[in-house]
Amino acid sequence: MNQVAIVTGTSSGIGLATALALAKAGQVVIATVRDERGKASVLEQAALAGVHLDVRRLDVTNDASVAAVVSGVLADHGRIDVLVNNAGLGHRGTLEQLTLAEMASSMDVNFWGVARMTQAVLPGMRTARRGRIVTVTSMNGLIAMPFSDAYNAAKFAVEGLMEGLAPVMAAFGVHVSVIEPGPVRTSFFSNMTGKVGATDQEDPYAAMMGRYNDALAAAMKGGGETPEGVAAVILEAVTSDAPRFRYQSSPAASAMAARKIIDVTGQSIVHATRALLG
């Protein structure tokens, strides 16, 4: 029996690659996007890949939009077997540079959006005593990077939410997993909001941010993961007979996670991220 899967944030990058990978694997995929332009683009990519995607508009920050999509999928397909929480938005700035409204906006997309979607599908999965919740959290959910304070906070919160949820839902046959990619070659960085550039020379953080931006650019030139590589890991979490709670999507990301887990003082991580500031 083919699984019915909802994937959020499929306009590009990891979400699009995941929707295509699941469809190629025989899943019935509901690919969600925020606007009509994104819908047209996803349908075009699906046609090029030779797969069918059921593309629907969804705003994960809107309760009514979430409820409408979930109830619509249940009405059309009878069940939801898989939810891939991928929709997210980066935000740049250290705490002093941020407004509380900016922090709240980041939390609304990156944390509350995940909570809304997950809460909406859980009753059906719990009743059916089966299901998969797979959430893309980023390595920022495990290792906080400089000038990403609001994004770090949201991703750390998502990791805590899912880690607490996992043992409870396992009792009902519902598996919960998180995916922790390292830097991925997508439009994520170009779509980022907040203090993206170091243009205000009166800002006391400007020079440091400039060096940090240069360090990130150099790191991305040297490689980075591909959306298709991350999608392959998500497919594993969705289809495995014994899914793990935590997946990194590359050896480099696994090495970073291991460094965090074995360093109970946190000093090695602070030293490593401080080096990015020059």
Residue (of 235, 259, 181, 267) closest to 21 by Cα position: 235
pLDDT digits (tens, 9 = 90+) for 20-37: 999 999 999 999 999 888
The ranges assigned to domains in the chain are 4-275
**Do the Cβ atoms of 92 and 194 come closer than 8 Å?**
yes
Q: What residues have CB less than 8 Å from 239, skipping those under 6 apart?
A: 25
* Res. 87: pLDDT tops 90: yes
The C-alpha atoms of residue 75 and residue 72 are separated, in whole angstroms, by: 5
For the stretch 246-256, pLDDT in tens is 999 888 888 88
User: According to the model, what pLDDT value does residue 92 have?
Assistant: 87
Q: What is the 3-state secondary structure (H, E, C) of the chain?
A: CCCEEEECCCCCHHHHHHHHHHHHCCCEEEEEECCHHHHHHHHHHHHHHCCCCEEEECCCCCHHHHHHHHHHHHHHHCCCCEEEECCCCCEEECHHHCCHHHHHHHHHHHHHHHHHHHHHHHHHHHHHCCEEEEEECCHHHCCCCCCEHHHHHHHHHHHHHHHHHHHHHHCCCEEEEEEECCCECCCCCCCCEECCCCCCCCCCCHHHHHHHHHHHHHHHHCCCECHHHHHHHHHHHHHCCCCCCEEECCHHHHHHHHHHHHCCCCHHHHHHHHHCCC
**CB-CB contact of 82 with 131 (8 Å):** yes
| pLDDT at site 234 | 97
Mean pLDDT of 100-118: 97
Mean pLDDT calculated for residue range 111-122: 98
d(CA 22, CA 231): 8
pLDDT exceeds 90 at position 131: yes
CA distance 214 to 251: 24
Given the residues 151, 205, 212, 247, select the one marked as catalytic.
Answer: 151
For the chain, percent of residues with pLDDT exceeding 70: 92
CATH number of 4-275: 3.40.50.720
According to the model, what pLDDT value does residue 222 have? Answer: 63
Mean pLDDT, range 46-73, rounded to an integer = 97
* 19 CB-near residues (< 8 Å, 6+ apart): 7, 10, 29, 31, 42, 46, 53
Helix 13-24 × helix 36-49 angle, to 10°: 40
What's the mean per-residue pLDDT of the chain? 91
212 is catalytic: no
Six-digit token string for 171: 């009792």
Contact of 59 with 35, CB cutoff 8 Å: no
Give me the mean pLDDT over the 121-145 stretch: 95
